[in-house]
Amino acid sequence: MDSLSTDGEETLSSLTDAQEEVMSICMVISGLLSMFGSTTIVYRVLKKKKDKKPFDRIMLGLSTFDIIGSFSFVLTPFALPAATSPRVWAAGNDASCSFLGYLSQLSIGAAWYSCLLSFYFLATLRLRVSNDDFAVRFEPYIHGLSIFYFLFTATIGVPFHLYRETELGLGCWVTNRVPLDCTRNLDCIGHIVAWFYGGLCLFFTMVALPLNYFFTYCFVRQTLKILARHNPIQAMQVRKLGVQGTLYVLAFFISYGPQLIIRIFAIAYSYERSAEPGIYWLLVLNSICYPLQGFLNMFVYSRPNFLKLREAGMPLFQALRAACFQNDIPKAMEQRTLRVRSSKHYDSSEEITKFLSNVERRASAVSIKKPVRHYEESSLGFLPEVIEVVPNDEESTAEE
């Protein structure tokens, strides 16, 4: 057990050096992977030849904030103040901890953009807002206000000395010691500041994400029944969009789930460093998952192209590499157009036939009670261009 004295208080760490090193190594590796994944998304969005859609710009904002957050995770084990921190690799000072808190506040923007992504899917799928309308009516506000809020709160926290080493886990952010001369648990307002800085945003995101995608899923399920008999290819597209949104939700909760539980322990049950041995497995899981959102998003973002390449018969690992790092999918296939065809790896015709048979069987059971409606092709323009189905005689260069 290590102990250090700071401001008349004793800071304890009940973890062994080996346990501390495992936490630090996991955080650094996950942070580097997340930086790599988010940088890949930023590069692909900026290199897109076609006009960028709201989805692309939301992913650009999400990935940019995630790069900042991932960089802070890589620095965390080394930037903690050596004079007061019991962490085994701490080599920084108060200034480096304040800088780390600044980056940590900016990183919350990635979580907020995940929430905005869910509202985008809800608006374009459930409410039928077109991409053009979304870009004009909502985008200037959501990007402008989001960027201003996180830049303002992160910057204002530095001169007011809001950032200190967290009392549970690795990191520097807003702690309960605000103001610095407050008496512990009496005059301190740090928890109120923390709720304003990130708590309300994360809480709203945790609630909005599952609700938005639940409403979207219900609409997609109903739309599939209508589209299947009229346009099976479009029905497949809508189903892929529903799966795509669900995967973004899973990526978010995998990343932020352990961190949420740790913050609940710290705020509701007053957990501090002396309690870390009892939740060490949770701290290690948090060090692995919390910085990993960008890496997970890279795979979800690349999934539509990966499916196209597999449908075209490309081998698994080659398709995965091309989907993650290539913008021009036809060029990656070394042919002018990318067409869906049967192969030993994937037979799309079998999937469509199976899908249609299931839908027709369900539709026949309720056909007496409820008539089947049909959509005209022109009425499907509200669909977000995240996954694009192109006829065989046209060139397919859709990124998502």
CA distance 246 to 235: 17
3-class DSSP state of 92: strand
pTM of the model: 0.78
CA distance 392 to 223: 24
Hunting for tokens 């402008």 — which residue is that? 144
The one-letter amino acid code at 253 reads F
Contact 96, 81 (CB under 8 A): yes
Contact 2, 11 (CB under 8 A): no
How many C-beta neighbours within 10 Å does residue 54 have? 26
Contact 149, 196 (CB under 8 A): no
Question: What pLDDT is recorded for position 65?
Answer: 96
Q: Which two tokens stand for residue 11?
A: 């800071």
Class of residue 52 by CB neighbours under 10 A (exposed 0-12, middle 13-18, buried 19+): middle
Hunting for tokens 């709203």 — which residue is that? 204
Contact 104, 175 (CB under 8 A): no
Question: What pLDDT is recorded for position 119?
Answer: 92
| Span 79-92, pLDDT tens digits | 999 998 889 999 99
* 400: Cβ contacts below 8 Å, ≥ 6 apart: 55, 56, 301, 304, 305, 385, 386, 387, 388
Phi, psi of 389, deg, nearest 5? -100, 120
- Angle in degrees, CA 197, 202, 207, rounded to 5: 145
Please state, in angstroms and as integers, the Cα–Cα distance from residue 20 to each residue in 29, 99, 162, 170, following that order. 14, 22, 25, 9
| Domains of the chain, each with CATH number or no CATH | 15-308 (1.20.1070.10)
Question: What pLDDT is recorded for position 365?
Answer: 55
* 386: Cβ contacts below 8 Å, ≥ 6 apart: 55, 241, 244, 304, 400
Element (H, E) at 11: strand 9-13
Question: What pLDDT is recorded for position 400?
Answer: 41
Question: What pLDDT is recorded for position 394?
Answer: 40
Question: What pLDDT is recorded for position 181?
Answer: 72
CB < 8 Å & 24+ apart, contacts of 325-331: 325/40, 327/44, 327/47, 327/48, 327/49, 327/399, 328/49, 328/397, 329/305, 329/396, 329/397, 329/398, 330/395, 330/396, 330/397
Hunting for tokens 């965390």 — which residue is that? 76
Sites in the chain below the pLDDT cut of 70: 1-13, 183-186, 224-235, 237-238, 328-400
Query: Would you tell me the crossing angle of helices 293-311 and 232-268 to the nearest 10 degrees?
Result: 160
CA distance 244 to 237: 10
| Span 245-264, pLDDT tens digits | 788 888 999 999 898 888 88
Question: What pLDDT is recorded for position 389?
Answer: 40
